[in-house]
Amino acid sequence: MNAGKIDIGKLKIVGRHAFAFGSALILASCAAPRDTEHHIVVSVRDQKLALLQKGNLVATYPISTSKFGLSDRPGSFGTPLGELEIADKIGDGAPAGTVFKDRRRTGEVISVDAPGRDPIVTRIIWLRGREGQNANAFRRDIYIHGTPEERNIGRPASYGCIRMRSLDIINLYSQVGAGAQVSIVQSPLVAVIPELNSASQMAETNHAVGVIR
């Protein structure tokens, strides 16, 4: 290039890079902030889920983990243990009992304990593993989700996911966001959450927050 002349080609390249960088900044600023306030603790032993906000107990719910036990191996149908996080939330505004197939609404809504039916319903909270022991969780489609088989809540009955009653998953879904910590443990909740240091205190705490299930 001669002195005093402008290389139009180089200007176009610089302009494209500047546009891409600016677009990335705009998208990043529009992204929802990670939920660092909430922590979900799932006790396989108790078949219960506790929701904490800033370390304080908010609610407990009965749940159902895998009837095939604990595992993160693909094809095992087991529930993985360890530290995970919420990767995505699916089902905003869907009526209770809305059926999902491949994370999409089918248009069908079924009732609680509908005979012969066991689809994913109401809401999906998709989990991503943060450790080696649960590294396959996301691609295994491990969710916290609603189930029509509410009669089986409180005992292991799933194919790897964590099942909840429809009204409970709607409540939980409305409080947590992407990035929230999820711990799946074998120990009882009282061993993880100091507030639940006795059965009587658990009842009193749940009565106080109004979410005893």
Kindly state the average pLDDT of the residues 182-195. 94
Average pLDDT value for the chain: 87
Q: 4's torsion region: left (phi>0), alpha (psi -120 to 50) or beta?
A: left
3-state class (DSSP) for residue 95: coil
Containing 53, the helix (H) or strand (E) segment is strand 48-53
Share of the chain above pLDDT 90, in %: 75
Identify which has the larger pLDDT, 19 or 143: 143
Identify which has the larger pLDDT, 82 or 204: 82
Residue 179 has pLDDT above 60, yes or no: yes
Q: What burial letters (b/e) apply to 170-206, b meaning 16+ CB within 10 Å?
A: bbbbeebebebbbbbbeeebbebbeebeeeeebeebb
Contacts from 95-98 at CB under 8 Å and sequence distance 24+? 95/122, 96/121, 96/122, 96/146, 96/166, 96/167, 96/170, 97/121, 97/122, 97/146, 97/148, 97/166, 98/122
Give residue limits of the domains in the chain: 1-31, 38-209
Residue 119 has pLDDT above 50, yes or no: yes
Count CA atoms within 13 Å of residue 82 on its CB side: 17
* Annotation: CATH topology of 38-209: L,D-transpeptidase catalytic domain-like (2.40.440)
Tallying the residues shown for the chain, one arrives at: 213
Distance CA 40, CA 87 (A): 13
* Predicted local distance difference test score (pLDDT) of residue 11: 47
Q: Report pLDDT digits (tens) over 138-156.
A: 999 999 999 999 999 999 9
| Furthest CA-CA distance within the chain | 85
Q: What are phi and psi of 105, to 5 degrees?
A: -70, 135
Contacts of 62 (CB under 8 A, 6+ apart): 47, 48, 49, 153, 154, 164, 165, 168, 213
Residue 21 has pLDDT above 70, yes or no: no
